[in-house]
Amino acid sequence: MSSIKTLTGSEIKLIAILAMAAGHAAFLIPSGTAAFSLAVPVLDAVSRVTMPIMCFFISEGFFETRNLKKYFLRLLVFALISQVPFYLFRAAVMPEAAADLWEGPLYLNVLFTLAAGLAALWTYYNKAIRPALKAALITTLVLLTFHCDYAVFGALWILSFGIFRGDKYKQFAAFGAVTLIKSAYMLFFGAGTYAAVIQLFALNALPLLDMYVGERGKNLKYLFYIFYPAHLLILALIKLLILS
């Protein structure tokens, strides 16, 4: 793996945002067409770097933020703001799932996953909490994301990056192990071979993270928070009002 440090945090986040937008925009391609069959798997694979990158920077934010409470509350506020655009997007691209109460309005967006992962990392480093209670709280926080986007695995990625911060190889090994478990879970619990294989493209985030110079770069703190619900809403409206 490359040891050349060339990318700031903001530059890596921009790559993640563009990859996410590309993966979501693929759903605007009419299904059943040759373009859909060719483009969606490619763009889906590209977009898989986004969540690991965001999880990495959530863990970095835990150590670098001046006010952890505000950081956590900001995630929750934007998670709530994003829920309607998230639901509308899912209703546009997967109407059968969105029509189901459990898979529709009650299925939570990825910012809830990130918030729970941040809380789990705070719990891990809180010396005032006894080990047995700490383990129970972390387990509970991880399991709470079971019905969120990226389920328990996003929270586990945050813990992997945060617990082993300062040791790149342990960070990446823990992240890789969680990714492999996620892929195996998808394969053996009915999601299918495609879903299992596509998870492995999350490992492509590692070369990007390896190039992180350890500096924030330009202050783009609110870009992801705003872009996430905004692009979901725009894509949903295009799909529902123009392409339907």
pLDDT in tens, 182-214: 999 999 887 789 999 999 999 999 999 999 999
Domain ranges, ordered by start, for the chain: 9-242
Q: What is the mean pLDDT of residues 210-235?
A: 92
Q: Is the pLDDT of residue 3 over 70?
A: no
The predicted model scores a pTM of 0.94
pLDDT-derived band of residue 101, with 50, 70 and 90 as boundaries? low
Taking alpha carbons only, the member of 147, 159, 156 closest to residue 122 is 159
Could you tell me if residue 176 is left (phi over 0), alpha (psi between -120 and 50 degrees) or otherwise beta? alpha
Pair of tokens at residue 74: 């900001």
Cα angle for residues 181, 121, 85 (degrees, 5° grid):
75
Q: Which of 118-132, 133-147, 185-199, 223-237 has the lowest mean pLDDT?
A: 185-199
- The CA distances from residue 135 to 181, 191, 200, in Å, are 20, 29, 28
Q: What percent of the chain has pLDDT over 70?
A: 97
Count of other CB atoms within 10 angstroms of residue 137? 17
Task: With beta carbons less than 8 A apart as the criterion, state whether 99 and 129 touch.
Answer: no
Cα angle for residues 135, 169, 155 (degrees, 5° grid):
35
Q: Give CA–CA dist 12/211, Å, rounded.
A: 9
Q: Is the pLDDT of residue 127 over 60?
A: yes
Q: What pLDDT, on the 0 to 100 scale, is given for residue 243?
A: 83
Summarised one tens digit per residue, pLDDT across range 133-191 is: 999 999 999 999 999 999 899 999 999 999 999 999 999 999 999 999 999 999 988 77
Summarised one tens digit per residue, pLDDT across range 41-75 is: 999 999 999 999 999 999 999 999 999 999 999 99
Per-residue 3-state assignment (H helix, E strand, C coil) for the chain: CCCCCCECHHHHHHHHHHHHHHHHHHHHCCCCCHHHHHHHHHHHHHHCCHHHHHHHHHHHHHHHCCCHHHHHHHHHHHHHHHHHHHHHHHHHHCHHHHHCCCCCCCCECHHHHHHHHHHHHHHHHCCCCCHHHHHHHHHHHHHHHHHECCHHHHHHHHHHHHHCCCCHHHHHHHHHHHHHHHHHHHHHCCCCHHHHHHHHHHHHHHHHHHCECCCCCCCCCCHHHHHHHHHHHHHHHHHHHHCC
Task: With beta carbons less than 8 A apart as the criterion, state whether 202 and 1 touch.
Answer: no
Q: Give CA–CA dist 122/159, Å, rounded.
A: 10
Cα angle for residues 13, 107, 206 (degrees, 5° grid):
30
